[in-house]
A and B are shown apart, each in its own frame.
Chain A
Amino acid sequence: MQLLSQIVPEGVTDLLANDFDRKEQLTVKIKQLFRENQFKQIQTPIFEYYDLFSEMKGTIEKDRMIKLIDTDGKILVLRPDATIPIARMVATNYKDAAPIQKFSYVTSIFRMNDDPQNVQSREFTQAGVELFGKAGIEADVEVISLAIESLKQVGVKAFTIDIGQANFYKALMEPIDLPMEEMAVIEKLIEKKNFAELTAAIGNLPIGMEYKQALQTIPTLCGEPKRVLEQAWNIAVNNEMKAEISQLKEVYGHLVALGYESYLSLDLGLINHLNYYTSIIFQGYIPGFGKPVILGGRYDSLTKQFGYDTKATGFAIYIDDLMLALHNIG
């Protein structure tokens, strides 16, 4: 008989003294950097109503939230995402405060196993920042620079910050009226850079040639930034797409001027599964580690859903993955 009293459930783990110490040292460095950049640390509840996440457009999959039943029968979930509760907190508590608010957090996130081979797949730590009330390039550059500095701060020498533009694809698809399922199929094929099947799927769509051309080109828009920006400009079918590209170009230019060129790459085929992102999005990769250790971007319409219209951008560092990647580098 298996003694459940002696084992821990799948996807969670004990942190022994050594590992805890390593994790603490890493987090302290990151927290200090956040503080030096005037981000104030906050905390949201460990569980909240299911409705907060389920009624929100484009949040995490319902199956992946860990649910509890409250005494009155309402459904609660363990915090499945850091950004949405913070957006709620800002909308309800900072409506009448100064428009620019800078917050940071270090917190546990809970999700159902998406990856049975990852030891910390159901409870993991994220550290991140959210910058509210600041639109435009300046804020995007500030947040991406901080993401780069965070990785440098903890001793990662080689890494890639891959920058995309969520709105470029959205602006392309906006005039196209397709059933949800077909859209989802196309998005998946673009995200997987599955050129062969994408060509086949687009072939049958009732859309104009320039749209087909653009859809087929989007997944190839990655790598050398100059070429990517130029090609993206060429396939833009409307002014909104052109505006997004100009903006991306400017952000990229500023980051290069700050001396970050060697860390940067562009990918316009980056369509994040959390589709509350509205504009510049980015992911941080470390060579030899299979998953992104940083996810971030602009999410200008999220607080509006809580009745407070403000601009916002931020990122989260997957602390446990970062530790693993650092360990692999040695």
Chain B
Amino acid sequence: MTYINIALGKGRLVDKTISLLKEMGIDFCEYHSESRKLIFEDPKNYIRIVLVKAVDVPTYVEKGAADIGVVGKDTLLESGANVFEMVNLGFGNCKFVVAGCEQLNLYKKKLIVATKYPNVAKKYFNQQGRSIEVIKLNGSVELAPLVGLSDCIVDIVETGTTLKENGLKILEEICPISARLIVNKASYKTNFQQVNTFLEKLQAIINRLEVNNP
């Protein structure tokens, strides 16, 4: 047996993933949410987790530095990483939207779009034959239309509270988002037994949870 390395993006998905792993009998006794450690091991089950910045998870997995990763569909879409996207974990649900001031006409002229996700934004508009200019921001994207930096934004929305409090409205919905389990292609092929057993166990737990809270 070799260790399976799992990359987790620091932030909202970590605790949910850890408790999901716990359901599978995989336990990182040293882990608590205040810890500064970046690597945790479960030597009994040969599982190791590494905590990385969420946007880097697809890179770690695509390059084989981690065999498996847990990442939001938003980050995965933006990265375009060449990996297997095998399980929809069913948590971290939100959606990609175009948002702006209520009276904005999205079809009038070439739009200026502020976003943390330039690839997703370009792809969405270009697929419909609409050209846009993208301004890449790293946070507080809602501010951009308010201060005249952009016409609208492309961002993920969970409840819509932030948008509402800043006077923005959802103008178009792009696609739903949830946490995904991604797998490095070489790991899946060269260590099939171990990785596949892990995936089957995980899928069984998720199915059970879905039956209990539909």
Contacts and interface: CB of A to CB of B under 8 A. Distances in A.
Pairing of A with B: yes
Contacts of B84: 192-194
B191 A287 contact: yes
A287 B86 CA distance: 20
A267 B190 CA distance: 12
Contacts of B166: none
Given A117-B59, A223-B192, A265-B192, A292 B186 contact: yes
Given A117-B59, A117-B63, A192-B84, A290 B186 contact: yes
Interface in A281-300: 283, 285-292
A285 B186 CA distance: 6
Interface string B51-67: 00000000101111100
B87 interface: yes
B42 interface: no
A196 interface: yes
Contacts of B59: 117
A193 B186 contact: no
B190 A159 contact: yes
Contacts of B191: 287
A289 B64 contact: yes
Interface SS, B side: mixed
Given A117-B59, A159-B190, A287-B191, A223 B185 contact: no
Interface SS, A side: loop
Contact of B83 (A192, A283, A287): A192
A162 B189 contact: yes
A3 B190 CA distance: 44
A292 B62 CA distance: 11
Could you say which interface size class chain B belongs to?
20 to 34
Could you say which interface size class chain A belongs to?
20 to 34
A54 B164 CA distance: 49
Contacts of A292: 185-186
A132 to B, nearest CB: 29
A33 B192 CA distance: 30
A94 interface: no
A145 interface: no
Given A289-B64, A290-B184, A292-B185, A223 B190 contact: no
A195 interface: yes
A311 B192 CA distance: 33
A78 B82 CA distance: 25
A194 B192 contact: no
Contact of B189 (A117, A195, A196, A285): A285
B131 interface: no
A292 B186 CA distance: 7
B88 interface: yes
B6 to A, nearest CB: 15
Interface string B188-214: 011110001000000000000000000
The 3 closest A-B CB pairs, nearest first, are: A290-B64, A196-B88, A287-B190
16 contacts: A117-B63, A159-B190, A192-B84, A192-B85, A193-B86, A267-B189, A285-B190, A286-B190, A288-B186, A290-B61, A290-B62, A290-B65, A290-B186, A291-B186, A292-B185, A292-B186
Interface of B: 59, 61-65, 82-88, 183-187, 189-192, 196
Given A193-B86, A195-B88, A288-B190, 10 more contacts: A117-B63, A162-B189, A196-B88, A197-B88, A285-B185, A285-B186, A289-B64, A290-B63, A290-B185, A291-B82
